[in-house]
Amino acid sequence: MEHIDIIVENYVDFQIAYLNRKVVMARDIEISVISIDDLIALKKIAGRKRDEIDILALQKIKELQNEEA
């Protein structure tokens, strides 16, 4: 079963994370999502095995995005 992590401490400065956010469209709704760099930072703090796997995938996504730019 999948789950959602809820952050209750300021591991990443919210103001900076908000400025770094990405806005995606889902139908006609704008949704703000955390940037890949900020998500990687949070996953490094969490340090779970699943987070280590996610970090590798996020770094690969970032590389692919940089290639497209």
Residue-range domain boundaries for the chain? 14-68
**Amino acid letter for position 55:** I
Q: Is the pLDDT of residue 1 over 60?
A: no
For the chain, what percent of residues have pLDDT higher than 90?
Answer: 74
Higher model confidence: residue 4 or residue 16? 16
For 33-46, the pLDDT digits (tens) are 999 999 999 999 99
Please enumerate in sequence order all residues whose Cβ is within 8 A of that of 20, keeping only pairs 6 or more positions apart, or say none.
Answer: 34, 35, 37, 38
- Of residues 69, 37, 67, the one with CA closest to residue 55: 37
Q: What is the pTM for the complete model shown?
A: 0.82
Is the confidence at residue 10, as pLDDT, over 90?
A: no
pLDDT of 44 reads 95
